[in-house]
Amino acid sequence: MIPFNKPYLTGKEMDYMHQAVSSGKISGNGTFTQKCQKFFEERYGFKKALLTTSCTDALEMCAMLANIKQDDEVIVPSYTFVSSALAFVRQGAKIVFAESRIDHPGVDEDKLEALITPKTKAIVPVHYAGVACDMDKIMHLAEKYNLLVIEDAAQAIDSCYKGRSLGSIGHLAAFSFHETKNINSGEGGLLAINDQRFVTRAEIIWEKGTNRAEFFRGEVDKYGWVDVGSSFLPSELTAAYLWAQLENLDDIQKKRIEIWEQYFLGLSDWAQKKGIRLPKIPDYAQNNGHMFYLVCESALQRDHLITHLKNNGVYAVFHYLSLHKSKFYRSRYHGDDLPHADEYTDCLLRLPVFYELTPEEIGFIMNTAKNFPE
């Protein structure tokens, strides 16, 4: 069975984790944490980068920094992972779910303005498959209505919008280093801060509501409890593992993009004949090789294709279920139907993409798909 995902090991992960253990400092915010954070700040231009134990934690920090309160409204696409909404629900927010684009699972930027009310506090664009939302349109709305933009860049490492790194455009952003992402640390995430007013408080929230980071830098003579917060920072073992991945980021990205392009070229004619849509990369966006997906004509076609692939040794999977129809939120949702989000729920299929996938395996996967009898 060709798996859907296989976490890539560069070969240095265990060496760096051993170094971390040998240093005598394996709790958070040690040498490897600081090296990783500096890497992100210098490569992508974030004002401040803070490693977290997950992207969910980074989003929860965003919700706290945004001072989301009971009955505030936050606009989130329905076709996304639950964390995109959950982080704000935990603060008491009402989630206003947004529709996907007809040509891409990302949010339909042209339908956002109609969702804004006096209670709206933030917009959360999700860069699905690492492909940028139209950030000029979203930032224009944020400026017009005095809103915060929190980029869910979980899948968007090393991807750009008009040459600008994703995660560097909104006021805040969150990344994932889950084992399914381009670079991984098993579990892990990153909070990116692009608005200076959030930097000091972010460190306090990150350090369990204390000003301990300032104390360790010698900026205060003692530290204590000064705000809300939680234990968001990961251990040095996680950071050491991640550092090995970051050292090989360019190589990892090159390989994943090559896999994506091999799929795209090899499946285009077949997909067109079958009425299956392949990913679209807008002119303003960049492909970071995170995911290769197909959008089938129907749920029945998608399910039969998944079964066909599995029966022939290829593990392909569907993706999100529309959050506005979820068991948790459907009784709270009183908005319009979101047919495009529902179409991706029913019809989207993801093919295997991971560093060690060989050209021969990609060819086998494509030939297996092309032999799909329906």
Give the C-alpha separation, 207 to 262, whole Å: 44
Give the C-alpha separation, 212 to 221, whole Å: 10
Does residue 213 register a pLDDT over 90? no
Give the C-alpha separation, 366 to 370, whole Å: 6
Q: Is 279 helix (H, G, I), strand (E, B) or coil?
A: coil
Residues 174 and 213 in one domain: yes
Percentage of the chain exceeding pLDDT 70: 100
Of 247, 281, 304, which residue sits at a domain end?
A: 247
Of 247, 266, 287, which residue sits at a domain end?
A: 247
Give the C-alpha separation, 66 to 72, whole Å: 11
**Per the structure, how many domains does the chain have?**
2
The full length of the chain comes to 374
| CB atoms near residue 162 (< 10 Å) | 13
Residues 275 and 224 in one domain: no
Burial of 331 (0-12, 13-18, 19+ CB in 10 A): exposed
Residue 349 falls inside a structural domain? yes
State pLDDT tens for residues 56-80.
Answer: 999 999 999 999 999 999 999 999 9
pTM of the entire predicted model: 0.96
Nearest to 4 by CA among 353, 358, 325: 353
Task: Measure the CA dihedral 79/351/281/147, to 10°.
Answer: 30
Residues 217 and 343 in one domain: no
Q: Kindly report the CATH number assigned to the domain that includes residue 28.
A: 3.40.640.10
Residue 317 · residue 283 · CB < 8 Å: no
Does residue 128 register a pLDDT over 80? yes
The full DSSP string for 157-171 is TT-EETTEETTSSSS
Of 247, 278, 307, which residue sits at a domain end?
A: 247
State pLDDT tens for residues 156-174.
Answer: 999 999 999 999 999 999 9
User: What pLDDT does 211 receive?
Assistant: 87
User: What pLDDT does 222 receive?
Assistant: 75
